[in-house]
Structure 1
């Protein structure tokens, strides 16, 4: 004789739940995991911080595509917490009544009574209240999985997919195939290899363009974040995962912003950040403040660039290979022989800067690259104070960034920059410094720099080291 139909609903007041297997980690644990990721922790470290294995942490991160799969906002106080459920379980084993439990928790008696009935374990046809099972059941029933908008709307999905992965074509509609590429393997874009050509609109471009093309059709609306979620998070089922190859970054997993900003930069101390730079360097009224960076070529080649903020004058720093480069295997933690290691960079920069009067070499603002980690020695040798821009903030060195873009006319990306000698770099710098500039009232940087020198000489003797 089996149990009569509907016996479980009569016992718990809830329809039978189809068990999905062993209870997963509590949502509060997953929520804390994603909070750790959001502040820059790796998936392994975030897993260890919340008490799960490294493998579980890596799996959560991979399945979410690097994006949080649950909201990071803590549930409101109207819902029982796991701590409260543990208290209910302990008091229940002590035969404390429902109303007394409710008084101790500050809850309504009906809330506790319903909790003991609905979320209790039902093994052997009897109610046994356990906090872990109750929490699992409540979280399972609280899930409200919504069908993704791209799944419900085939027309919208086709538009998004076409503008992500549509073929490149001529005005007459002739498709241009582009390079032949290997099949996507679930990893990032190929390193220094051809990528498939596609229309490749960004999710934000698609989202905003829909408003222009379908101004009166509310169904043709989607946020760019929803498109990213459809691409990165497993199980959304709207867009194929391989479409991430059409994104500009080509990443198969989203990179949390805090993680991108948490690179170790021990050479940048509190006294050399850009906020400590003299105020006179910001308004370009006083000469002698420079911005610097490297332009990188193939085979670990580079050229140093320096631009004076007031006159826009350019200095190019020759960074030749050191003896032994390419002739012996690279030694781990050995000396950098490519020409722009810390010591070589400081020496080359010192040689270039000491050709200028002391009044025209007050400060240099550099990016966060390790090539200038020997900045203390450089500052002592030249009397030039070094400051570092904030991470991922190229706008704090606008003159240098603009000049580097112009220099790519002479030194394109993907070319070997070590083939150029100091004399050739000097010729390119001379050419740039004698171009008229709109920002200078169509004067050339050389003319403005000469005026600065003349002003220094008229007020006092210019000194060099």
Structure 2
């Protein structure tokens, strides 16, 4: 028999043979079912490493399956490029390159059943977590957490302090997992952030609630950044206790002039639209040029707002509050009147006008100790005399 003659059978036949073995068939019985000799089946089995690791299925769609590895092997046999193979199985070509390099046999051949066995063996984690097994390590991590160290700081400290002792080193992810699993005692207060469970991450996953037809901040006129002419506003919401109430905040970028938006009926998109239209109607048209907001769902009807107020509305990048720095600073000042955790529904429209008046008549260093009201009045006077 020529060398590797047992590999001349179709891939589908081999696949069925290994499926039968995983179902509990003996080698001879599986060989009879697929129509090959027992010795041929035995050669297949030996070529796959002489073992079949139990496969519970991929833990995530990003992992390669047995079928993916068979497709890779068939593509290599057909002399296809790695990029073509990756496209056919819906993976990145980098993943396929790593797969071939990592799971090829010692002689350089890529055998899909061997490769799948190797991947399953690496996936198994029979060892006990270091933090669970090592009392000194666990005590040291607890001590650093009590001192308000972050898991990253603890991990770096362990590498510096115990350079040759793997048993006294852990990565930040291990500390997080142990903390959220309860291996480090009671969870509340263990992290500086106060979090007691992991925050969900959506890396690379498009957000289903993205606001339609947003104009990104990058398209806002550059002159707005120079703060030379007024009429460019930043806006946001201050949320009350239990997210049961809210107040809208507007601040003009040049004069730091503040307007507070009363939202007695809530702050969903229709209520927000109506409140902004009604409560900014008295602002002179020349001072209603741009409005910068975050990507909150309350601005879903931004096109209506722009059409009825004259504002050109621009949206910040996600999780980028510094792009509305003036508004964020103003919200911090407003917390003197609206403490976090308080019920904001108690404040009437009259209350909000009084609070805005106090803030607008407070001298600001950035304005040369003038008040926002004085700065705004100066601009309005200059505009009317031109």
Q: Distance in 2 between matches of 1:138 and 1:24?
A: 14
Distance 2:137 2:177 in 1: 15
Runs of at least 5 residues in structure 1 that lack an aligned partner in the other structure: 1-10, 34-49, 52-70, 82-106, 117-130, 167-198, 321-337, 460-465
Check 1:221–1:313 CA distance in 2 against 1; reply closer, same or farther (3 A cut).
farther
Aligned to 1:397, the other structure's residue is in SS state helix
CA distance in 1, matches of 2:62, 2:196: 23
Over the aligned positions, Cα root-mean-square deviation in angstroms equals 4.0
Q: Structure 1 residues 32, 426: closer, same or farther in 2, change over 3 A?
A: farther
Q: C-alpha separation between the residues in 1 aligned to 2:241 and 2:123?
A: 52
Question: How far off its partner does 1:80 sit?
Answer: 4.7
Post-superposition shift, 1:200?
5.1
Change in Cα spacing, 1:32 to 1:345, as seen in structure 2 (3 Å) is farther
Give the TM-score normalised by structure 1: 0.56
Question: Which residue of structure 1 lines up, in the alignment, with residue 255 of structure 2?
Answer: 311
Distance 2:241 2:174 in 1: 38
Contact 1:161 1:239 in 2 (8 A): no
- Count of residues in correspondence between the two structures: 311
Distance in 1 (alpha carbons) for counterparts of 2:64 and 2:196: 25
Structure-2 separation of matches of 1:262 and 1:410? 34
- Structure 1 residues 365, 251: closer, same or farther in 2, change over 3 A? same
Report what 2:353 is aligned to. Answer: 426
DSSP 3-state at the match of 1:295: strand
Measured against aligned partners, the alpha-carbon deviations of 1:132-188 in whole angstroms (never above 9, x if no partner) come to 4x3443334556967755467643331212333x4xxxxxxxxxxxxxxxxxxxxxx
**Structure 1: how far apart are the matches of 2:290 and 2:48?**
72
- The aligned runs of 1:302-341 (5 Å cut-off) are 302-320=246-264, 338-341=265-268
SS of 1:316's equivalent in the other structure is strand
Q: Which residue of 1 aligns with 2:232?
A: 289
Report the counterpart of residue 223 of structure 2 in structure 1: 280
- Structure 1 residue 310: Cα displacement: 0.9
Q: 1:157–1:405: structure 2 CA closer, same or farther, 3 Å change rule? A: same
Q: CA deviation at 1:292?
A: 0.5
Q: 1:364 to 1:143 in 2, by over 3 A?
A: closer
* Inter-partner Cα distance in structure 2 for 1:291 and 1:254: 29
CA distance in 2, matches of 1:428, 1:260: 41
Q: Relative contact order (alpha carbons < 8 A, sep ≥ 6): 1 or 2 greater?
A: 1
1:49-448 matched pairs, under 5 angstroms: 75=98, 77-80=100-103, 110-111=107-108, 132=113, 134-142=114-122, 150=131, 154-164=135-145, 166=146, 201-207=149-155, 210=157, 217-218=162-163, 222-231=170-179, 239-240=183-184, 243=187, 246-247=190-191, 248=193, 250-258=195-203, 262-266=207-211, 268-270=212-214, 272-298=215-241, 300-320=244-264, 338-448=265-375
Which segments of 5 or more consecutive residues in structure 2 lack a partner in the other structure?
1-44, 66-88
1:313–1:445 CA contact under 8 A, matched in 2 = yes
Alpha-carbon deviation of 1:276? 1.9
Is the Cα–Cα contact under 8 Å of residues 245 and 252 in structure 1 kept in the other structure? no
